[in-house]
Structure 1
Amino acid sequence: MKAVTISDVAKHAGTSKSTVSQFLNERFDYMREDTKKRIEVAIEELGYSPNIVARSLKMKSTKTIGVIVANILHVFSTQVIRSIEDFCNESNFHVIVCNADDDPVKEKRYIDMLRAKQVDGIIAFPTGGNVDLYKRLVSEKYPIVFMDRMIPELPINTVLLDNEKASKLAVDAFLQKGHDQIGMISPSLGKCITPRMERINGYKNALLDHQIPFKQEYLVSAEIPHIQSVLETMLGSPNRPQALLALNDRVLFEILKYTKEHQIRIPEDLAVIGIDDVSFANFYSPALTTVAQPAFEMGKKAAELLLTRISNKESEVEAEIFRFEPQLIKRSSC
């Protein structure tokens, strides 16, 4: 069958091609309601579908952005993606989501793929392994926004939590409950990932502020599959901590799994706080004290920044870091 064209729609609706084009681009300012209705009916009766590729070439925009997350398993990542998608949908932009698994090779592959698809811009949780590639994109004035992580040498707008404050809120909460032997569990520190390094600094500084000596054996890190092993060592020690701060949601899952399997009572035997407000925190038994990130606000800000940059590609914009406030949500695990 011959493809239905915009000319066919115009003829069927009894109007001009330019009027149909205005309708398709949602420019209704001077369009009568009966004209809109005729075009709608014509499109439905003819089964017309716009040629998205042709429109993209003409408009020099695909109305699409890419989001490259470090690990889509994190609650924070999924909430940020939802917020970005909601904001972009309201602005008639589509979103392609890519999961890099904290792998610079996958990250580069996704950047290349998104550029090949001519997406208008990218929001990335950068791995830190593709600095030269991002430098090239910056030099081309390609719209980019970083989320959750920063690369200091790159002048790119970045949206971050106040990570040091997040740890301080948790340490202060432990101390208010009388726990001064405070440990912290982190994912692997092999890569200098911004939230991990900042949260650890916040933990150390909070102890210092309260004149509590930092104990190296109370700060441990490992890849997620090995967290159970480091918990065995730490909590099996005669001088084990009274309280544990989980650096993120995936670490918190491992701590909860360990305490359940080893019948360690929370908070009687071990007080626990997690950074990231997991969905089950309120109905877990005991309810979990957490430090929440305003993920939806952060995602919206990243989308706003990117779409503003897309609409002003040629303007010189000084890159900024946008910090968001964490919130301690007090429940029963501390």
Structure 2
Amino acid sequence: MKKITISDVAKHANISKSTVSQYLNERYEYMGEQTKQRIHESIIELGYSPNYLARSLKQKKTFTIGIMVANILHGFSTKVIRAIEDACNEENIHTIVCNTDEDPEKEQKYMEMLQAKQVDGFIVFPAGENAKVYQRMLEQNTPLVFIDRIMSDLKIDTVLMDNERASELAVENFAKHGHEKLAVATPELKPYMTPRLERLSGFKKALQTNNLPVKEDYLISENLDSLQERLQHVFTMEDPPTAMLANNDLTLVEMLEFFKKSNIRLPDDISIIGIDDVPFANVYHPGITTIEQPAFKIGKKAAELLFDQINDTASEPEVYRFAPKLFERESVKTLDE
């Protein structure tokens, strides 16, 4: 079959080739609605597919961005990616998603591969230890936005949740229900893991603000593989906690599995709150009180910041924080009941 061209569309719509080109490049300033409708109908009827390679060569853009995600299994990451993809789709920009598994070498390999493909920019959940790579990208004026993690030595637009406020919401809710022995479980702390560090810091600050004791044995930081073993130690202590915060969705799953195997009942034996509004929170029995990260807002903002950089309309790099939201369900027991 003959390949349909812009000339074919122009002839079918009885409109100049340059007008069709302006339509395809979304330059509508002096184009009437009837003209746009005729071009649209001709494109559909003829089955025309734009030549993105020619468009890229002309505008010196590939209309493609790379998304580096640290762990695609996180529900938060999946939602953020979806929000970015939605925003890119509206701008006719393609996305390439790479999962780095928190591995700096893997991240660098993917970024070099995508740079070779001349993507227009990157949205990155930084795996850490690649500061020199990011700095080189900045020196090359490569559009770059971080999500979820701050690298304070680099001036890069960064979008994340107000993590300390998330922990504060949890502590306030536990305190409201009469709990004083509060624990928190988080994956292993690492210098570049901003959410983990800030949520733990916020937890400690909130305990002090609410005149509650800070007990080191209740501050649990472990690899997920060994988290249940640590929980076993905590819940066989003479004075175990009555309430516990799960730092993220994967931690919450490990906690729930441990409680089930150990016949620890929710909320009679332990009250829990999870950061990340996991899909099963509302259908689990009892319903799990969660703190939602505004993932779609974060993803959309990251995309908008990247578009500004690509289009040379960006302002000075900033850190943008979005407020968490508490969804109260049945997993927190009032102690005086």
Task: State TM-score, norm by structure 1.
Answer: 0.91
Partner of 1:60: 60
The 5 Å alignment of 1:1-334 reads 3-11=3-11, 14-31=14-31, 39=39, 43=43, 47-312=47-312, 317-334=315-332
Distance (whole Å) between structure 2 residues aligned to residue 94 and residue 11 of structure 1: 29
Distance (whole Å) between structure 2 residues aligned to residue 42 and residue 241 of structure 1: 68
Assess, with a 3 A threshold, how the Cα gap between structure 1 residues 41 and 82 changes in structure 2: closer, same or farther.
closer
- Cα shift readout 1:276-324 (whole Å, capped 9, x = no counterpart): 11111112111111111111111111111111121116x6x32111111
Assess, with a 3 A threshold, how the Cα gap between structure 1 residues 87 and 8 changes in structure 2: closer, same or farther.
closer
In structure 2, give the amino acid aligned to 1:322.
Y
Distance (whole Å) between structure 2 residues aligned to residue 158 and residue 29 of structure 1: 33
Tell which deviates more after alignment, 45-54 or 204-213: 45-54
| Secondary structure of 1:160 counterpart | strand
Distance (whole Å) between structure 2 residues aligned to residue 241 and residue 321 of structure 1: 35
Residue 15 (structure 1) shift: 4.3
Assess, with a 3 A threshold, how the Cα gap between structure 1 residues 5 and 284 changes in structure 2: closer, same or farther.
same
| Secondary structure of 1:175 counterpart | helix
Distance (whole Å) between structure 2 residues aligned to residue 18 and residue 106 of structure 1: 44
- Cα shift readout 1:16-56 (whole Å, capped 9, x = no counterpart): 33233223223345456776566556656665433211210
- Cα shift readout 1:102-143 (whole Å, capped 9, x = no counterpart): 111121122112222222111111112210111111122221
Assess, with a 3 A threshold, how the Cα gap between structure 1 residues 79 and 47 changes in structure 2: closer, same or farther.
closer
Assess, with a 3 A threshold, how the Cα gap between structure 1 residues 329 and 39 changes in structure 2: closer, same or farther.
closer
Distance (whole Å) between structure 2 residues aligned to residue 4 and residue 169 of structure 1: 58
Distance (whole Å) between structure 1 residues aligned to residue 224 and residue 20 of structure 2: 55
Assess, with a 3 A threshold, how the Cα gap between structure 1 residues 207 and 37 changes in structure 2: closer, same or farther.
closer
- Cα shift readout 1:62-97 (whole Å, capped 9, x = no counterpart): 222222111111111111112122222222222222
Distance (whole Å) between structure 2 residues aligned to residue 29 and residue 147 of structure 1: 34
Q: Is the Cα–Cα contact under 8 Å of residues 64 and 96 in structure 2 kept in the other structure?
A: yes
| Secondary structure of 1:134 counterpart | helix
Residue 267 (structure 1) shift: 0.9
| Secondary structure of 1:274 counterpart | strand
In structure 1, give the amino acid aligned to 2:309.
R
Distance (whole Å) between structure 2 residues aligned to residue 310 and residue 275 of structure 1: 33
Residue 237 (structure 1) shift: 2.1
Residue 13 (structure 1) shift: 5.1
CA RMSD, Structure 1 to Structure 2 (Å):
2.2
Assess, with a 3 A threshold, how the Cα gap between structure 1 residues 8 and 254 changes in structure 2: closer, same or farther.
same
Residue 235 (structure 1) shift: 1.4
Structure 2, unpaired ranges of 5+? 333-337
Residue 201 (structure 1) shift: 0.6
Structure 1, unpaired ranges of 5+? none
Q: Is the Cα–Cα contact under 8 Å of residues 180 and 213 in structure 2 kept in the other structure?
A: no
In structure 1, give the amino acid aligned to 2:321.
R
In structure 1, give the amino acid aligned to 2:325.
Q
Q: How many positions carry a matched residue from both structures?
A: 332
Residue 239 (structure 1) shift: 2.1
Task: State TM-score, norm by structure 2.
Answer: 0.90
Tell which deviates more after alignment, 17-26 or 304-313: 17-26
| Secondary structure of 1:178 counterpart | coil
| Secondary structure of 2:98 counterpart | strand
Tell which deviates more after alignment, 147-156 or 70-79: 70-79
